[in-house]
Amino acid sequence: MPAATSASRRDTTRLRWRVEDYDLDATLGCGQAFRWRRGAASWTGVVSGRWVRLRKEKHTLHAETATPHADWRWLAEYLQVDSDLAAILNTFPDDAPLRAAVAACRGLRLLRQEPWECLASFILSSTKQITQIRQIVELVCQRFGEPLPVPPVSAPAFSFPSPDRIARLSESELRACKMGFRAPHLLAAAGAVAEGRLDLQSLQTLPLPEAKERLMKLEGVGPKIADCVLLFACGFGQAFPVDVWVERALSKLYFRRRKATPRELREFAASHFGPNAGYAQQYLFHFIRTHGAQKLSG
């Protein structure tokens, strides 16, 4: 098979990128994605139905897969290795809270996630701690995902179940994954995507308000979860998810510790942070959760 031979010559299970300002721990651990597990010196996860191990070394990001690939664009896109973080940070307003957040979290990147996994995960996120979201997502994948090839000695890995797969499950099968009242929401969303009533791929081509409106037609998807999908999966850099942490951060840092109203928060977020408001949001979110205990309580 000569054709296959010439094609497979470039196939490899390892690749590396030269990167500046790429903090793998912050990026994979900040709560934007839920399937990454930190090992001694590397992170293991699943991207586009493929087992992946990542390791950062000085200015090099090392990737390893279980099966060979000639085309690695799926992972480069997910990791956003080609985005210019310095240019993004330069669009932030020059104020004290963001200076502190960038000083503490520089290298945190927004990933470009798969829309269905992102939507499903954030449907499961409401009033759950990040550790619990990870557990629920992991259970769903173990029970209903497809087993994936992994390297020798590695733990089993599973794909994130497709909309069709989840749409065929019963509500009680989902509730058994500890997702509680979110089970019917996930089931309905899976049905909408599986039957083509919601086209997730087309959202990125729409104006942000219309894309958000379509997501919010789903039961259990309000403005916050919609913004997460728009920002983390659809590439809308101005989407600005406001959860309890961001609400606290904005109130304390920009409203002189006064509890700002939802309207005030919306208008401030839309006017203050610029074209990469969503990036700024993630820096504030991660900063307040990791370094913010003292800054917040004082």
Partner DNA sequence: CTCCAGGCGCCTT
Partner DNA sequence: AAGGCGCATGGA
Q: Which residues are at the interface with DNA (CB under 7 A)?
A: 30-32, 122, 125-133, 135, 175, 178-181, 216, 218-226, 228, 241-246, 261-264, 281-282, 285
Q: Which of 72/255 has CB closer to DNA?
A: 255
**Rounded least distance, CB 93 to DNA, Å:** 18
Strands 60-69 and 12-18: antiparallel
Contacts of 131 (CB under 8 A, 6+ apart): none
Q: Residue type at 75? A: L
The nearest distance, CB 99 to DNA, in angstroms, is: 20
Nearer to DNA, 61 or 250 (CB): 250
Smaller CB distance to DNA: residue 17 or 255?
Answer: 255
CB of 211 to DNA, least distance (A): 14
Q: How far is the CB of 258 from DNA (least distance, A)?
A: 11
Q: How many helices (H) and strands (E) in the chain?
A: 16, 7
Taking the least distance from each CB to DNA, the nearer of 133 and 186 is 133
Residue 247: Cβ-neighbour burial (10 angstroms; 0-12, 13-18, 19+): middle
H-helix or E-strand containing 251? helix 244-254
Short-list 69, 23, 64, 78, CA closest to 290: 23
Residue 228: closest CA among 220, 73, 175: 220
Residue closer to DNA by CB (options 51, 214) is 214
Element (H, E) at 38: strand 37-38
CB 185 within 8 A of CB 218: yes
Residue 154 or 261: the one with the smaller Cβ distance to DNA is 261
Q: How far is the CB of 218 from DNA (least distance, A)?
A: 7
- Give residue for tokens 């010196």: 41
The CB-of-68 to DNA minimum distance in angstroms stands at: 33
DSSP class of residue 46 equals E
